[in-house]
Structure 1
Amino acid sequence: MSDAAPSATRLEHFHVTFFAIVMGLSGLTLALHASEVAYGLSSLASDISFYATVVVFIVIALFYAAKAMRHGASVRAEWNHPVKLAFFPAISISLLLLATASVGRFDGLAETLWLAGAALQAVLTLAVVSGWIGTRAFLHGQLSPAWFIPAVGNVIVPIAGSQLGYVDLSWYFMSVGLIFWIVLLTLVINRLVFHVPLPGRLQPTLVILIAPPAVAFVAWVRMTGDIGPFALILLNAAYFFTLLVAMQLPRIIRLPFALSFWALSFPFAAVTIASFVHAGAAGSAVHKMIGTVLLAALVVIIAGLVLRTMKAITAGEICQPE
């Protein structure tokens, strides 16, 4: 990818994990908007981030569509890969996050993106979970926090869905996401504690542990307006995982760069947004400050990821056979 567009060989290795970049940038857009609301600022920063994210999404979607048309066997190989399979719903989640960011900007676009993203998320969740429990045999060592993406990612749907009027559908996705969070959290913690450590390229996915309770908190508040005990359990679980992951970050960031490092971005955005949402709902200056500190960390993380990704692209280290 050192050229303007990937060569035929590199296009074949243009993995679905590229959509994690869109998730991270969308998360930044939403976190910036949350901070603007909290501080009564103009939407300039989040607007710039929104349009940049849309451009990145279009570019990545076009490249992956080209890969699907020219290298269908490679896409099927990704689908059959025990690790990469979990990243396919990053496509639908990208649509849902863009829909959420579009609410209040372009409501017609928001609804279109949300309907497309929700439908695709429903299909991919069923397909991936069916694959997990079907005739294929998965090894325990193939389990990673990335497995949260297909099923637990459903909790993203209600954030925009409830604002667009799709309340019953939003509760369906919320229910599925929360149930699978409990199931997969148990499995993932068991894997992390009692089995060999995650491979180097998957170490950054540890940060994904933060996202489910943080996003579920935001979705819960959007649908119910309630910041009672259950909401606080979700928020504080997100804070615990943030502290837990922070202890691992010095080791993780020393690892060789890979696209999986973009897993650092969206979870930090999610807990940042959750902090600002609670600050606004409860009038909490403490949570507003926590959100501000987390936003500063998120901006540094995104800037570092962009620079390292551009460097890797320039050096031709991206889209290489594994």
Structure 2
Amino acid sequence: MTTPTQLDSRLENFPISFFAMVMGMSGLTIGWEKAQHILGVDLGITPWLVGVTSLLFLTLVMLYGTKLVLYRQAVLSELRHPVKLNFFPTISISLLLLSIAFLPLAPELTRWLWLAGATLHLAFMLYVVNVWMHHDHFKVQHMNPAWFIPAVGNVLVPVAGVPLGYIDISWFFFSIGMLFWVMLMTIILYRVLFHDPIDERLMPTLFILIAPPAVGFIAYSRLVPELDAFGRILYYAGLFLTLLLFTQAARFLKLRFFLSWWAYSFPLAAISIASLVMFERSGNDLYRYLGLGLLTLLTGIILILLTRTANAVRQGGICVPGH
């Protein structure tokens, strides 16, 4: 039985990285919305997926908000941490993803979610980059693909922003995302190739490498009406990185469970949706089958992640000091 003292300790150590769950669930929701559109069917699952994802987001906001009130110093410690710092934009990214998920259901709610998400993400991005530029304690070992998270959020903005009519703002955020993708990709490859291997706990974050080009392709498809050379480059870059990581499946299967396993989910959702968009743009059935296959794989992985996370919470493996 969990005592009040243990509950207080868990709340104090409640990690900001929990919001990666919302990213994964949102990606699954948007993926199935897209798949139903492609297949011309309504499975009746969209309201359920959107509802569960929204409830998860609200629950995490309530828990982390309580932590902010009761354990402000613990939150400040995460804001100053070289790795955890980069997970704060998962809050604004969650708002942006929810705005995309609600787009076919409630356009007006989408607008408010998008405005809140874009504004908050710009604030997070400016804060994070300022910390990067003026730090006094970062080392090359601190660099890992989680640093992509602030950049990925920028690229998401056009997905709902263009249908809502915010064209110039969407180009602004897309440009920021592409700029930081190129810079961070160079630094991360340098880190991986010439320094010690990434810590086991952070190994799953390698899947985040897929997200910038995959999400970039989806966003670019909103901004530009035709499939052009740059769109193909973005998609095939994401596809190559997916294949590269799949060849390392044996390494990932040996890893112990950490909350960072949720890093598998959103990038796989992104390349799944990008493949379905590629089918729409090219008419090539290969991309439809690829997208649906990846979405099926993602669905199975999400179920595993939900089960493993629930077990870890019940057994006290999460929300403990040092995690």
Taking structure 2 as the reference length, the TM-score comes to 0.97
* Aligned counterpart, 2:45: 45
CA deviation profile, 1:75-122 (whole Å, cap 9, x unmatched)? 000001110001000000000000011112111110001000000000
Whether contact under 8 Å (1:2, 1:314) holds in the other structure is no
Q: Post-superposition shift, 1:226?
A: 2.2
Distance in 1 (CA, whole Å) between partners of 2:250 and 2:95 is 32
* Aligned counterpart, 2:288: 288
* Aligned counterpart, 2:75: 75
One-letter code aligned to 1:185: M
CA deviation profile, 1:11-44 (whole Å, cap 9, x unmatched)? 0011100000000000000111111011011052
* Aligned counterpart, 2:224: 224
* Aligned counterpart, 1:245: 245
* Aligned counterpart, 1:101: 101
One-letter code aligned to 2:206: L
Q: Post-superposition shift, 1:136?
A: 2.4
Q: CA RMSD in A?
A: 1.6
Task: Report 1:20-59 matches (<5 A).
Answer: 20-59=20-59
Whether contact under 8 Å (1:129, 1:151) holds in the other structure is no
Distance in 2 (CA, whole Å) between partners of 1:152 and 1:101 is 17
* Aligned counterpart, 2:194: 194
Distance in 2 (CA, whole Å) between partners of 1:11 and 1:137 is 27
Secondary structure of 2:248's partner?
Answer: helix
Distance in 2 (CA, whole Å) between partners of 1:280 and 1:152 is 23
Q: Post-superposition shift, 1:69?
A: 0.4
Secondary structure of 1:44's partner?
Answer: coil
Gaps of 5+ in 2: none
Taking structure 1 as the reference length, the TM-score comes to 0.97
Higher mean displacement: 309-318 or 265-274:
309-318
Secondary structure of 2:255's partner?
Answer: coil
Whether contact under 8 Å (2:227, 2:282) holds in the other structure is yes
Distance in 2 (CA, whole Å) between partners of 1:96 and 1:226 is 24
Q: Post-superposition shift, 1:152?
A: 3.5
**Residue 61 (1) aligns with residue 61 (2):** yes
One-letter code aligned to 1:42: D
Q: Post-superposition shift, 1:278?
A: 1.2
Task: Report 1:133-212 matches (<5 A).
Answer: 133-212=133-212
* Aligned counterpart, 1:132: 132
Whether contact under 8 Å (1:275, 1:291) holds in the other structure is yes
* Aligned counterpart, 2:119: 119
Q: Post-superposition shift, 1:249?
A: 2.6
Whether contact under 8 Å (2:152, 2:211) holds in the other structure is no
- Between the two proteins, the alignment pairs up a number of residues equal to 322
Moved beyond 6 Å, runs of 4+: 1-4
* Aligned counterpart, 1:273: 273
Gaps of 5+ in 1: none
Distance in 2 (CA, whole Å) between partners of 1:168 and 1:206 is 32
